[in-house]
Amino acid sequence: MFRIATVFGATGLQGGSVVKQLLKDGVFKPRAVTRNPDSDKAKGLVKLGADVVAGDLADYPSIKKAVAGSEVVFAVTTSNRGQGTRELEQGKFIMDAAKEVGVKYLVWSSIESIVRISGGKYQAVALDDKAELDNYIRSTGIPHSILHAGGFLENLTRPAFVDCAKLNDDGEVEIKTRWVKGTVASLSWIEHDLGLSVSSLFNAYANGRLDEINGKEYAMICSKLPIEDWYEIIETTLGRKVNVTWLPTMNLKMLDDMYDSAKEFEWYKNRQIPDPGLVALGVKFGALEDFVRQELKPHLGL
């Protein structure tokens, strides 16, 4: 009989990386949750061997149904899902449902609290909701671990994002970014490191090591460095000039507060990178240069 791991956000960047890694591991059978099981991405997961089920983060009964019978859960919320519901409500639905059906262990994907580190000067509801859910899951008593992410490297390769890298007519790399010069940026390679981190935690649980990981927070971050240095790494690795346009605003207060807070109040200050707890579990974080070669270079058609 299969040991089931329910994975939320399965057709997105985070959940998709977890599903694929669990399929490689073979310890837990991934149950991929998506609002539309008939989408091309969902059908692709079925072909890989995952079970795909419908689940709407705005609907508690569908979430409860999705987690019923699962031993472990990977939980993530996103601001563009759930029919306009806040991430705080979405996360509570997942956590409450997991507790109600008797899930044994849950890994929660979270991020730095903007309002906390800035003392209220900056606010970003999508991030602050996730951080508030850190406290909520502790209050439920569900055995859990929390993974904290930084800025996604993949934003450079996703056309929907403003900082997606492009080649100009001279063969140079053009990047528009809202990062502020001088920011010490915490960066996460989601597709490389998140699935590995979640599977390592699930495997530790499966091997009787729950006491070691229960209630722990981990920084799922591959590098922390001045943002200018990151763009220099891209230039050096590709051997092509990188032109950076520093945007003064995104015309959306939440995003502006996110980036401005990162400059003024360093994210994950005093946290050791890479996280020694994840390293001890066997997670080998990807290098920035490898991301450039493996992800950014083919995105640019080089």
- What does the block give as tokens for 289? 């240069």
| pLDDT tens-digit readout, 143-195 | 999 999 999 999 999 998 888 999 999 999 999 999 999 999 999 999 999 99
The residues facing 152 across adjacent strands are 188
Q: Are 109 and 144 in contact (CB under 8 A)?
A: no
Residue 42, domain extent = 4-300
Q: Are 189 and 271 in contact (CB under 8 A)?
A: no
CB atoms inside a 10 Å sphere around CB 183: 22
Q: Quote the pTM value.
A: 0.96
Q: Are 243 and 168 in contact (CB under 8 A)?
A: yes
Q: What is the reported pLDDT for 203?
A: 98
Q: What is the reported pLDDT for 224?
A: 98
What's the structural domain count of the chain?
1
CB atoms inside a 10 Å sphere around CB 137: 24
Q: What is the reported pLDDT for 160?
A: 85
Report the alpha-carbon distance of residue 192 to residue 210 in Å, rounded: 24
Q: Which residue ranges of the chain lie beneath pLDDT 50? A: 81-82
Q: For the stretch 259-289, what's the b/e string if a residue is b when 16 or more beta carbons lie within 10 angstroms of its beta carbon?
A: bbbbbebbbbeebebbbebbeebebebbbbe
Q: What is the reported pLDDT for 84?
A: 63
CATH code for the domain in which residue 266 is found: 3.40.50.720
Q: What is the reported pLDDT for 162?
A: 84
Q: What is the reported pLDDT for 80?
A: 61
- What does the block give as tokens for 130? 């996730």
| Burial class, 213, CB count within 10 angstroms (exposed 0-12 / middle 13-18 / buried 19+) | buried
